C-alpha cells in the first residue's frame, strides 16, 4: 500500500502564529510546529511536503496575495500528491476559499483550506483538529474539488463548499454556509455528506468536471464592493480612481433605497454606468418572480442582477472575471463553476 502524500501550503494566520507579550503575530516556524504536533498525536503514515509562499495575518490579505497563491498552486505537480491543505487565517478565509474554488475546482485531487480559532499553543485551539480533519478528508473522502474544513463550537468538524462559506460571526467566531446548510462533516475519520436539496450529491462531487480558465491572472483590475445600510450617502463616492466593476449587495428581500435623496441607489447605479463602471447587484432569489417596486426601479438603470450567490463568492468571482482574458466578464460571472449558485 502506497503512503499518502499531501502538500501543505502555509500562508500565516492564527494557525501560523505565536503569542509574545500578549500580542498574536505570524511566526515562520509555526507551520512546522503544526506538523510536529500532528505527527506526535496521530503518528499516521502520511508524508507531507511544505511550502510557504506568503506569511501574513489574513486581515492583511489583498488580491495580490491571491495572485501569488494562484501562481504557486499552478506550479504544483498535482500527480505527486493525494491532496493539498492550505492553512489560512480566519478573517478573510471565506474570500480566499471562494477564489480557490473557482480557480482550482477542476483539479484531480482535493484542495482543503483550514485555519484555527486560537494560536496552537493555546489549549482551546482547534487548529490541530482542523488539520487532522483535513487530512482525513483527503485520504478517505474519494472526492475532489475545493473545500473548507473548520470545527464548530460544538466540536463538529464541518466541511464547507469553499464557494459557499461565509464570514464568521464576530461574537462566537463561527462560519456558516450560504443557504444555511453545510455540505457535511468529518465523523469517525470519514466524510458524511449532508443530504439536502441545495447541496450537490456525492455523485455530482465525484463527477464534477468544469475547467474554464487556463490563463494568467494578475488581479490588476479592481472591483469595489458595497454593503447597504439605512442612510448610506452615495455622494461620498467620487471615484477619482474608477473600479472596473461594483458589487452592491441588497437587503435580504432583494431591495435597496430608491428615495429621491443622496441615498438613492438608482441614482448611484446611473452615475456609475455613465462613468463606464459595470454594476452588479446581489442577491436576488428569482429575478423572474414578483419583485418589490424598489427592486424594479433599481434594475431600470442597467444594474446586472445576480441570483442566489453569497457576497463573498460574488466578490471573489468578479475579481477573477475582470482579470482574465478568456470570456467577457459577465459571461464568466454568470457561469456556474463549483456549486456557488443555490437553486431557486
What the chain holds in terms of domains, given with CATH numbers, is 4-207 (3.40.50.1170), 223-334 (3.40.50.40)
Residue 26 predicted with pLDDT over 90: no
Q: Output the average pLDDT for the chain.
A: 92
pLDDT digits (tens, 9 = 90+) for 71-129: 999 999 999 999 999 999 999 999 999 999 999 998 999 999 999 999 898 989 999 99
Percent of the chain with pLDDT over 90: 78
What's residue 24's pLDDT?
72
Cα 77 to chain center, whole Å?
23
CA distance 140 to 243: 44
pLDDT digits (tens, 9 = 90+) for 167-202: 999 999 999 999 999 999 999 999 999 999 999 999
Burial class (CB in 10 A: 0-12, 13-18, 19+), 184: buried
296 contacts 263 by C-beta, under 8 angstroms: no
pLDDT digits (tens, 9 = 90+) for 226-255: 999 999 999 999 888 899 999 999 999 999
Instruction: For residue 237, give Cα distances in angstroms to 222, 243, 246, 317.
Output: 15, 11, 12, 23
CA distance 11 to 82: 20
In which band, very low, low, confident or very high, does the pLDDT at 213 lie, cut at 50, 70 and 90?
low
Residue 59 predicted with pLDDT over 60: yes
What's residue 9's pLDDT?
96
Q: What is the 3-state secondary structure (H, E, C) of 266-326?
A: HHHHHHHHHCCCEEEEEEECCCCCCCCHHHHHHHCCCCEEEECCCHHHHHHHHHHHCCCCC
**Radius of gyration from C-alpha coordinates of the chain:** 21
CA distance 115 to 151: 9
pLDDT digits (tens, 9 = 90+) for 29-47: 777 889 989 999 997 889 9
Q: Is 127 helix (H, G, I), strand (E, B) or coil?
A: helix
Q: Which residues of 212-251 are buried (b: 16+ CB within 10 A; e: fewer)?
A: bbeeebebebebbbeeeeeebebeeeeeeeebbbbbbbbe
Residue 1 predicted with pLDDT over 60: no
pLDDT digits (tens, 9 = 90+) for 156-175: 999 999 999 999 999 999 99
What's residue 212's pLDDT?
65
User: What DSSP designation does 160 have?
Assistant: E
List the grid coordinates of 104. Answer: 482550482
Instruction: For residue 124, give Cα distances in angstroms to 38, 59, 116.
Output: 16, 22, 10
- This prediction has a pTM of 0.94
Nearest CA to 86 among 134, 119, 153? 134
User: What DSSP designation does 83 have?
Assistant: E
Number of other CB atoms surrounding residue 165 within 10 Å = 29
Cα 213 to chain center, whole Å?
18
Residue 262 predicted with pLDDT over 60: yes
| Residue with the three cell numbers 450567490 | 309
CA distance 2 to 54: 31
Amino acid at each position: 500500500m502506497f503512503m499518502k502524500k499531501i502538500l501543505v501550503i502555509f500562508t500565516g494566520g492564527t494557525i501560523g502564529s505565536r503569542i509574545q507579550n500578549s500580542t498574536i503575530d505570524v511566526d515562520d516556524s509555526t507551520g512546522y510546529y503544526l506538523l510536529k504536533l500532528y505527527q506526535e498525536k496521530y503518528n499516521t503514515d502520511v508524508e507531507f511536503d511544505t511550502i510557504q509562499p506568503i506569511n501574513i495575518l489574513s486581515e492583511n490579505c489583498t488580491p495580490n496575495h491571491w495572485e501569488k497563491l494562484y501562481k504557486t498552486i499552478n506550479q504544483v505537480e498535482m500527480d505527486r500528491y493525494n491532496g493539498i491543505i492550505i492553512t489560512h487565517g480566519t478573517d478573510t478565509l471565506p474570500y480566499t476559499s471562494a477564489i480557490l474554488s473557482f480557480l482550482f475546482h477542476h483539479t484531480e485531487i482535493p484542495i482543503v483550506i483550514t485555519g484555527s480559532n486560537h494560536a496552537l499553543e493555546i489549549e482551546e485551539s482547534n487548529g490541530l483538529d482542523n488539520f487532522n480533519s483535513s487530512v482525513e478528508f483527503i485520504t478517505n473522502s474519494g472526492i475532489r474539488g475545493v473545500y473548507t474544513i473548520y470545527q464548530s463550537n460544538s466540536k463538529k468538524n464541518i466541511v464547507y463548499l469553499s464557494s459557499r462559506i461565509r464570514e464568521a460571526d464576530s461574537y462566537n467566531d463561527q462560519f456558516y454556509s450560504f443557504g444555511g446548510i453545510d455540505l457535511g462533516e468529518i465523523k469517525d475519520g470519514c466524510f458524511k455528506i449532508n443530504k439536502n436539496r441545495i447541496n450537490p450529491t456525492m455523485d455530482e462531487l465525484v463527477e464534477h468536471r468544469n475547467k474554464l480558465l487556463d490563463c494568467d491572472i494578475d488581479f490588476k483590475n479592481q472591483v469595489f464592493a458595497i454593503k447597504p445600510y439605512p442612510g448610506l450617502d452615495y455622494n461620498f463616492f467620487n471615484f477619482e480612481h474608477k473600479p472596473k466593476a461594483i458589487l452592491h449587495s441588497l437587503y435580504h428581500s432583494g431591495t435597496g433605497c430608491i428615495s429621491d435623496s443622496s441615498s438613492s441607489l438608482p441614482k448611484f447605479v446611473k452615475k456609475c454606468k455613465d462613468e463606464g463602471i459595470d454594476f452588479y447587484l446581489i442577491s436576488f432569489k428569482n429575478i423572474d418572480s414578483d419583485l418589490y417596486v424598489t427592486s424594479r426601479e433599481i434594475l431600470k438603470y442597467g444594474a446586472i442582477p445576480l441570483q442566489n450567490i453569497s457576497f463573498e463568492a460574488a466578490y471573489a468571482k468578479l475579481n477573477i472575471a475582470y482579470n482574465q482574458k478568456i470570456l467577457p466578464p459577465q459571461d464568466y460571472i454568470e457561469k456556474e463553476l463549483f456549486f456557488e449558485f443555490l437553486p431557486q
